[in-house]
Amino acid sequence: MRLVPRGFLAALILLVAAAAPLRAQAKVAFIDSRKVLQEMPGRTQVEARIRTDLEALGAREKKMVDSLNALMASFQRDSAKMTSDDRNARFSAMQQYDQHYRDTLEVLQAESQQKQGEAMQPLFDLIRLALEDVRQADGLAMIFDVGAQVNPIVAMDKNLDVSDKVIARIRTMPAAKAAVPEPKPTAKPPAGPVPQPAGVTRKP
């Protein structure tokens, strides 16, 4: 499950680089953001929360799809016995429910993406602080990220890899333990069955 926006980390590295004064024979280093994120304190808890949110979204989506399928099955079963007006009304009701399903799913997906960003932000903040600490401690002008999706570096001296230093610095930061906030209470869906258009019933 890809949860990491690489573009964000690439921009983060460039921001740290831009803040450093360029000098003759400037020292540079690199990190692999994939490795840093893999070993981040609190990452497992954050990803578990995100998976829980995605599973809840999937369950609600399945419930709505099941209701739509029931409407379609009912329409097909009763279509031959309907008058033209009844058939048109039932078909219109299905279209309205389908649009309601799509609109609801779009809202739920947007909320899920927002929650993912909010959950990951404390980890990104720690990485930014640790990068700047390591850069200053080692006298580096800039730090590149070889884990970015667009990586122009095709060869490098592995001795310049400061990923472990960044990880070690993060683990010593007091903020690391507070990086994962308590999960916000999730609004429960309305009790009772999913609403269906009038005149349509599901067989028990």
Secondary structure (DSSP) of 18-78: HHSPP-TT--EEEE-HHHHHHT-TTHHHHHHHHHHHHHHHHHHHHHHHHHHHHHHHHHHHH
Q: Does residue 182 lie in a domain region?
A: no
Higher pLDDT, 14 or 121: 121
pTM over 0.75, yes/no = no
pLDDT category of residue 192 using cuts at 50, 70 and 90? very low
**54-109 pLDDT, tens digit each:** 898 889 889 988 988 888 898 888 888 889 899 899 889 889 988 988 898 899 88
Q: Does residue 200 lie in a domain region?
A: no
Among the listed residues 88, 86, 89, 94, the one whose alpha carbon sits nearest the alpha carbon of residue 68: 94
- Tell me the residue range of the domain where 16 lies: 6-176
Q: Does residue 188 lie in a domain region?
A: no
Percentage of the chain modeled with pLDDT above 70: 72
Q: Does residue 183 lie in a domain region?
A: no
Res 68: pLDDT: 87
Residues in the chain: 204
Q: Does residue 45 lie in a domain region?
A: yes
Lowest mean pLDDT among 15-24, 127-136, 176-185: 15-24
Q: How far is CA 195 from the centre of its chain?
A: 29
Q: Does residue 192 lie in a domain region?
A: no
Q: Does residue 14 lie in a domain region?
A: yes
- Number of domains the chain contains: 1
Q: Does residue 195 lie in a domain region?
A: no
CB 26 within 8 A of CB 103: no
